[in-house]
Structure 1
């Protein structure tokens, strides 16, 4: 750094109104630390530390400019999350071997990590109590002085100076006590947050059912915060008793035996808090459960929010008043004389007793909150972790005997399950082989991939993997960040390799359409991208990884035919030609290109032959292929196909959340969850208390100053300058404080967002072996949050200390002035989407009762059009009319109450099957069973627990196809006149697709059906087809006419479909006769 920066730093250090540390040797070290953006507190000297003058440069900078993240210095190394977590982990391992109880081992580990800091802060707490207790003694001396009982000539001035020094030391001690306990709390919160994040990366699937993502979010944002707040109150547990004892001793010296009844009242009040504490603990536990449910509901869909919060706290605010009354009453019984001297001494001492008595309920409340939160976190930290012992990965060397070898009798997600997920599995995949896995819905194809990457915990047998794995999940997982960051996924950028990946994954054209290309920042869960674009980013991430084994879980269902054809031929068959590929798919057109095919049914591998062998000998495979086009066989003879694609953007909304979709696109889910969890908890529990405290403190200040001005007019010469200094101090402080609080809020949201994102993608993170990198990034975000929090509460202590010093000046000056009067008393008061344009000039009419198919390439505007129907986005020009009514003039709730949707990504909520189908309990059990029968799910549900069958959050314990069928059942129960299908059959097999289409034709025959699809049977069954491209209507006509006329757009579709069919030209005669050509629109 340049020398002028050091000079500027030195100049800034003189801004303290009271103390300056520039003359000390550590100042030069502090300059160096600040230049390197490390907090000056790291090397602050004693005077700088106790006066908080090390904060002066930051506050000066905040006064001159708006503070940003980069202006906040980093924490000391010992205060960073990595150091705190490492120390905690070391102590935990040591104590766990000696202590059986989990809570005891965690608590002992924390205490060992913080014992030195606790002792130092305890010393300051003791010093504060002792200095506070001298107040009545000074008052006693001042009253004697006022009675002309002067011991020596300048006694008044000596007492004034002594009072100021004692109050100054009291302020320093109290501020260091609270500052250091805040620092202890920060370190504890950081280590617990890091431990929770680390734990969720290794959490077993069974534990995930017990600890939902919403609950894990609460552990970090609420529970860890409350435990971090407890050290702030820790020393008050013993200082309260000490302060009361000292106060009662002084009162006894003043009024004698009249103190005894007061002591009885104090004891009774403390005993009376015991049953209230038990009652409060019960209600606090209920409150935390309610908060978990609230956050879980918002996490699932940001809808159906129903939170019932209860908080019960009885504070014995009347105890100090009773103590006062009892002492005065008791003073008359033994005929104790109440003189001016002992009366005012008693009144002054009473404030020392009142303060701790009033704090007893608060201490109990905070202690109970911390205990409840602590037990919740310990329970989570003790939850079982994912065990990968049966998984053996050998990545050394360049040649392997085999890539995947599974020889297992049973593979199950739950050890107690009677019906295992997979049975009698023998799978051998050699290096370089291409293996496809197909089967009907619920055949456990995805579970097989999960077993290979070590996600399934209970394996009776052996699973051996030789080589590095790259995994592409069925539901695309995208991080918040740029597209380039998502593709690199922590790897080093190699430009030629990166460009090749973009080309092979068909992303070049998409990036050209985006405003900043691959530097475009995409939102959480990839919500700024279409479904097909998200899947291609996932494929690019896997390809760039250069793994040995590629596990692809049905990635091509999310893209249209032309792109799917290119991806399969150039990505799978060309780019991965020497790699081992295991692909789960429902698209039978690709199967002939694979070395072998796993035909799965009910958790078993029926066969693993080649494509031709399967066609010749497997009836199950014939049924699977035959179902592909039986219902539309006569339509397919026209010889041409139409183009369709996917990607509908639909988020289930309720009337509570009426913000436009652009808000949810630009706002990370973690930020919303942070507001709902920690911020809402503050509103629930602290807002009223803080507001009441602020009002009472303000009133106390004004009344105290008024009384002083009335009794001692000369004190106005001191009060007025002090008030001016106070105003200047507060302005100086607020300029930085409000920005520190703002930055802390954003960094806190970043931690919550990152945690939420990691929970959602933990399977992908573990498959790529990126746990350490994600944990390191989590620690960095925790430190960012911690740094802003540390400097925020430090600045708060900086201000309070200076205000208390001003109070000490006023108090000592008032005492001197009052001591010159014939009578008087001194009383001390403390100042404690709008979316970017996607549709252009669309004009068409959907007739009632018709079935409309919407097709188009990724980014053509299909998602925006569907979003407009549901008023997720509003048209900037024009209008959408339903039965002559303009949707823009109708309430959002009314519009959506007349529409039903079966989304592309099936949405299920934690609870039962019945709750998911009929959350408001509007239908009878008989009607629900009828719907399950129509959806071909009756047998599956009956084998479990009937309508009470458990559904985890997001429905992960049900297959993708079963989830989609449940969404169909939900729509059947609604019986709305307009049904929207958002590629509802993209992730299911053709036989189930046929069932769904038949059900829709029968049950919604008199309804208007709008279908976004890319399967030929679905589109050819439509009355009209709307083709979109770049937000414009290219064609809108009946399917057959579009094919026969062979206009430009349909001709392009036909060519793209022809490219798809070229892959399977060598099929057997049986296949050609029984199966029509499978078209997917491009």
Structure 2
């Protein structure tokens, strides 16, 4: 290890130079062992199963180490210093203790992840990302922090008992008085430790809440910026942080009070023992007094701060273990639940060809009178009395309105729902494509393969039928492009197709496709349906949830869902004869309905997507933590006055403490002089009673100043932590979007979770120990120099030796600490990503692979973490050598090189040095630990310097009620995602007159969404954007963004009440909000809940269906009543009814507003005043759709013409009608309603309450 330290001192250390994790530290092995023990204990015991499991796994070794620790503490009371063998022995013992604690953390983390993948849907609903992040950072970290001192809980009473016997032999009954004072404080410390553990639980719960809000903010940051909700979320975070800091402050005060005991408990005990001893008529003899003082100094840590901290730490470990166990006991996903007869359902690894051959039965799905619900505590039955019989080679289409139970039906087949009655017989292996595409952080190819063996032929076939080949050509690295968290590098359509490709690539018998066609344009949709679903899966069972009704004619069976039941099922012909509105829904739909592109449109743009946001590798700082970092940390706690007060309290408290110690020596010397010179008369000022009073004053001053200092210190650094968080959050929420594109959510959460936890609780305590020990050591050296100047020589040598050792050590440990911080982020990201994609993971039977990946990430983290711990222990070993050598040399100086030292002074120095042995090496360790932990402060300060969005002057002159027209103009506008990257919009210019309805169309990467981003100024823009002739690039961002409403493609809801989601600033009355909900037909859905507008929305809005979430976004636009409305493919993922409702609302409620619609379906924009055609970041065409369709060489003409003659004629007729109409709003709304009634029947456009399961996705 020393070689590693010296090599790192010379040239630093990088990630590549860390060692492979030791076999006994492998996360996989530790996780498997604990999992087996946990499973066994869970069957036996209802309570404390995790405690028992950890004890069974580590208890024997831990108790053996405890006995070694007891032996060490006892030997320190009488072993000779020269026996340095014990240094090596007990250094190893400390190493083993830390190693076991680390194994506990690894085992618990691995066990938690394994159980995460088993969570039932109801458990997922009750588990937030904030809870998971807190448990993986703070709670499991308590094992390492808590068990290091845990043995002192039982060693301290033994030490105290033995010390009492030794003291009794020295000063008799007087010793009991001092010991009694110590014993009185033991229950006080226990009580404070118990209260501390309660506060730790409160902190953990409140941290969960804050991290949960942070996770929602980071995942929805683009929507938050467009809605201009930064202030609202700042209030949410500020409220959560204040409640958290209230608990943190109380916890800090309690810990500060415990630390203050270290100042005065043993000193007061010595005082009491000596005073009683003297008042009993005894004389103070140096050989007795300093033996007594030495014994008190030896047991001082055990009965003061160490005992108190060990109690608090163990109670903290207990709280964390209970929280983890509560999570581990959550309801689990049952692989073969009651009611299922599953043959190899998802149970065969696709790489195991031999097992695959065991499937002999024909694939089928049979459901008999099946009812199911989502949550175990819910009384509402989501699906009722389902009867389905699907045999091999069938294509089954499932249709229905929002909330009708379509996605729920698929989830029953995936075993994600709770079956309350009926029987399900599934034969075959399942593959699944979720409605909301799920991605893990990796390349496109890795997301498609998802653990499967790469088969070039199959891979090329799958990417072709999923229309991905041409998309790969757009990316600089093709299918090796890194997609980042949530597939942030991909467009909505690309995400959907990669998600589908993953499903298709897996060899299975049953393919469950949850609306894969909704996020793609009609041309691509037709390709996916014909090439992929119809042809590629022709010999498989395929269940397709869809809103694309034009494809139903070719389905083998159609199931119509309504209110969680099967309203009707059968073939297309059978349903035609059924007497339903089915005929009316379909009679006008052609197989070749609207397409955005065709093969005749020419080859795609040659422009590569160079500016696709890429997640960058997290960087760590190099070199020494700067003095500026320390100063910034202190300045965060208060101004110069507060810092001066803190320093004065430090000086006063330590001056009082050492004044008392020195006065003991003075008293002993005086008593000794009285014995030697009994005939000399002494003045009254130095009489015994006077000395006792002075001593009492010094002790009282020590007690008061120590308590004041520790409490003030706790307040000071709690304030520093609070200010650091507030400053970094303010910069983060105002920083540019490019930062969020380049930094993963897990990486950012790591700073707001683990790093902030260290700054909140750990660093102040380490710094306090450094200050206390530093002052203590300085005081000892000062006393030594005063008593005997010759002692300055070994003191200087000690400082030189320790400085050299520390200098070598700190370079290594600092680098390793930074590597550890960076290695921790992927673990959190992996956990949060897995939690979001549980249904997909389980459908693909990928639990084992993801567990292996989690364990691998833990091993990467452990390699740097254990090397960091090992370097710390190596440093500690050499410090011990230095300390023992120093004491030996100092004693030699006093015995052989000093002349005239009296007994009191010698006793004072020796007793102080005995305390120095442990304190100095611990202080040096803590000093080094402080610098390593200050990396967290450094990382927080980095976020306080983030570049923010342009903060433009508030001095601007806007017309009253601006904008009151809604005119929009782009003049030579360019947009870059990265300031140093290529422009994705290139000098575009166009004008939108007030009240016009504009449709924006174009291929993937053409610049449609970038145009919207430019309007909201989310990225770097050059040129002018004018709204009502005001250049919004010159006015504050919040002013312009507040005046634009958006209905995004991916609806954003956060876990607050319905009211907060509609009106986060509480600007509108309940009546107004109810009216908005009524207009989007959500009033009944909300009103049936007893909470009304206070209806709780879960994380991500998952207790509402996708369509219902989109309707809430529409209600927000209605509430704001802005003059400019943006629809960014808002109806891409909803059913025809919700699409019709949104389109109807836009045409009627916003008839006088300017509306810009990024088109997904051509019929939604063909009645627009103008259509903006984008191509390669430029404006290709811009005019009325009728004019554009009249140009046979135009882009839009070819686009519409490719949809088929019937559709072309229909859309051209609409464009012509709207063009020659003077009453556009009424004509447009009437046409749209009639168009949808003709397609889907009157029930699809009449105002009806949304019904069905709120859980249907």
What TM-score bracket applies, with the shorter chain setting the length? Answer: 0.7 to 0.9
Name the SS for the 2:1125 alignment partner: strand
Mean Cα deviation higher: 533-542 or 113-122: 113-122
**Cα gap change, 1:816/1:899 in structure 2, threshold over 3 Å: closer, same or farther?**
farther
Matches within 5 A, 1:296-375: 296-302=212-218, 303=233, 304-306=236-238, 307=240, 308-309=243-244, 310-311=247-248, 312-313=250-251, 314=254, 315-316=257-258, 317-318=260-261, 319-356=265-302, 357-375=304-322
Residue 184 of structure 2 corresponds to residue 108 of structure 1: no
Q: Identify which of 821, 826, 834 aligns with 2:978.
A: 834
Q: Which residue of 2 aligns with 1:129?
A: 73
1:386 maps to 333
Q: What is the aligned partner in structure 2 of residue 62 from structure 1? A: 8
Alignment of 1:652-663 (within 5 A): 656-663=732-739
Q: CA deviation at 1:756?
A: 0.7
Residue in 2 that maps onto 1:163:
81
Separation in 1 of the partners of 2:341 and 2:434? Answer: 22
Between the aligned partners of 1:501 and 1:608, the Cα distance in structure 2 is 31
* Residue 968 (structure 1) aligned with residue 968 (structure 2): no
SS at match of 2:921: coil
Q: Does 1:575 align with 2:536?
A: yes
1:741 aligns with 2:845: no
Deviation at 1:1061, TM superposition (A): 6.6
Distance 2:475 2:189 in 1: 63
Residue matched to 2:681: none
Query: Any residues of structure 2 matched to 1:558-707 within 5 Å, and which?
Result: 558-622=519-583, 624-625=585-586, 656-707=732-783
- The answer to whether the Cα contact below 8 Å between 1:243 and 1:353 also exists between their aligned partners in 2 is yes
SS in 1 for 2:19: coil
Q: What's the secondary structure of 1:234's corresponding residue?
A: coil
Please list, as runs of the form range in 1=range in 2, the aligned pairs for 1:928-1007 lying within 5 A after superposition.
Answer: 928-945=1073-1090, 946-1007=1092-1153
In the TM superposition, what is the alpha-carbon distance from 1:1059 to its structure 2 partner?
A: 9.6
TM (normalized to structure 1)? 0.85
Per the alignment, residue 30 of structure 1 pairs with none
Q: CA separation in 2, counterparts of 1:394 and 1:560?
A: 38
Contact 1:193–1:220 under 8 Å retained in 2: yes
Partners of 2:151 and 2:310 within 8 A in 1: no
Post-superposition Cα deviations, 1:589-620, rounded to whole Å, max 9, x if no partner, equal 22222122111111111122223443454534
CA contact (8 A) 1:562 1:1059 kept: no
**Deviation per residue, 1:930-972 (Å, 9 max, x gap):** 1221111122223333334343211222211111112222332
1:399 & 1:210 partners in 2: Cα distance?
Answer: 40
Quick one: which of 309, 323, 348 aligns to 1:376?
323
1:610/1:783 Cα in 2 relative to 1: closer, same or farther (>3 Å)?
same
Q: Is the 8 A contact 1:128 1:173 kept in 2?
A: no
1:544–1:218 CA distance, 2 compared to 1 (3 A): same
1:340/1:771 CA distance change after superposition, 3 Å: same
Q: 1:1045 — aligned with what? A: 1191
Alignment of 1:205-604 (within 5 A): 205-302=121-218, 303=233, 304-306=236-238, 307=240, 308-309=243-244, 310-311=247-248, 312-313=250-251, 314=254, 315-316=257-258, 317-318=260-261, 319-356=265-302, 357-387=304-334, 388-389=336-337, 390-395=339-344, 400-604=361-565
Alpha-carbon separation, structure 2, partners of 1:693 and 1:881: 60
Structure 2 residue matching 1:981: 3-state secondary structure: strand
List alignment gaps of at least 5 residues for structure 1: 1-54, 136-161, 1065-1069, 1078-1082
Pairs within 5 Å for 1:73-84: 73-84=19-30
SS in 2 for 1:806: helix
Name the CA shift for 1:780/1:329 in 2 (closer, same or farther; >3 Å).
same
Moved more, 234-243 or 809-818: 234-243
* 1:648–1:864 CA contact under 8 A, matched in 2: no
Q: How far apart, CA to CA, are the structure 2 residues paired with 1:897 and 1:250?
A: 77
Corresponding residue to 1:763 among 835, 839, 846: 839
**Alignment partner of 1:739: what SS?**
helix
**Partners of 2:149 and 2:306 within 8 A in 1:** no
1:977–1:66 CA distance, 2 compared to 1 (3 A): farther
1:706/1:944 Cα in 2 relative to 1: closer, same or farther (>3 Å)? same
C-alpha offsets along residues 408-444 of structure 1, whole Å, 9 cap, x if unaligned?
3412113453431111211122211111111111111
The structural deviation recorded for 1:626 is 8.5
Q: Partner of 1:898 in structure 2? A: 1043
How many residue pairs get matched?
Answer: 975
How much has 1:381 moved relative to structure 2?
0.9
Give the C-alpha shift of residue 402 in structure 1: 4.6
What are the ranges of 5 or more consecutive residues in structure 2 without an aligned counterpart?
219-232, 345-356, 606-610, 616-728, 923-976, 1211-1233, 1242-1257
> How much does 1:110 deviate?
0.9
Partners in 2 of 1:785 and 1:186 — Cα distance?
A: 11
SS in 2 for 1:619: coil
Alignment correspondent of 1:855: 1001
RMSD, aligned α-carbons: 3.3
Q: Is the 8 A contact 1:708 1:814 kept in 2?
A: no
Task: Give the distance between the partners of 2:1114 and 2:787, measured in 1 at CA.
Answer: 81
Q: How many angstroms does 1:400 deviate by?
A: 4.4
Q: Which residue of 2 aligns with 1:1067?
A: none
Specify the alignment match of 2:622 in structure 1: none
C-alpha displacement of 1:1074: 4.0
Partner of 2:109: 193
C-alpha distance in 1, partners of 2:1056/2:379?
21
Aligned-pair distance for 1:1010?
2.4
1:392 is paired with a residue whose SS is: strand
Contact 2:550 2:589 in 1 (8 A): no
What is the CA deviation profile of residues 200-234 of structure 1, one whole-angstrom value per residue up to 9, with x for unaligned ones?
Answer: 11111111222223212222222122134322122
Once residues 1021 and 97 of structure 1 are traced to their aligned partners in structure 2, the CA distance between those partners, rounded to angstroms, is 66
Q: Which residue of 1 aligns with 2:230?
A: none
Shift of 1:779: 1.5
Report the Cα distance in structure 1 between the residues aligned to 2:17 and 2:748, rounded to whole angstroms.
Answer: 26
After superposition, the Cα gap between the structure-2 partners of 1:334 and 1:432, relative to the gap in structure 1 and judged at 3 Å, is: same
For residues 14-49 of structure 1, give each alpha carbon's deviation from its aligned partner in whole angstroms, at most 9, with x where no partner exists: xxxxxxxxxxxxxxxxxxxxxxxxxxxxxxxxxxxx
Per-residue deviation at 1:524?
0.7
Q: Deviations over 1:787-834 (max 9, x none)?
A: 222221111111122122112212211111122332332322223142
1:774 to 850, 862, 868: 850
Partner of 1:11: none
> 1:977, 1:254 → 2: CA distance?
91
Alignment of 1:905-916 (within 5 A): 905-916=1050-1061
Inter-CA distance 102–1044: structure 2 relative to 1 (3 Å threshold): farther
Distance 2:268 2:796 in 1: 37
Q: In 2, distance between residues paired with 1:63 and 1:879?
A: 54
Q: Structure 1 residue aligned with 2:870, among 790, 794, 810? A: 794
Q: Is the 8 A contact 2:341 2:424 kept in 1?
A: yes
Contact 1:715–1:813 (Cα < 8 Å) also in 2: no
**1:117 pairs with 2:61:** yes
Aligned counterparts of 1:172 and 1:247: Cα–Cα separation in 2? 25
Partners in 1 of 2:893 and 2:7 — Cα distance?
40
**Per-residue deviation, 1:869:** 2.8
Q: Deviations over 1:1010-1068 (max 9, x none)?
A: 22221233212433322212222112222222222244311331244239979x9xxxx
Conserved in 1, the CA contact under 8 Å of 2:369 and 2:421? yes
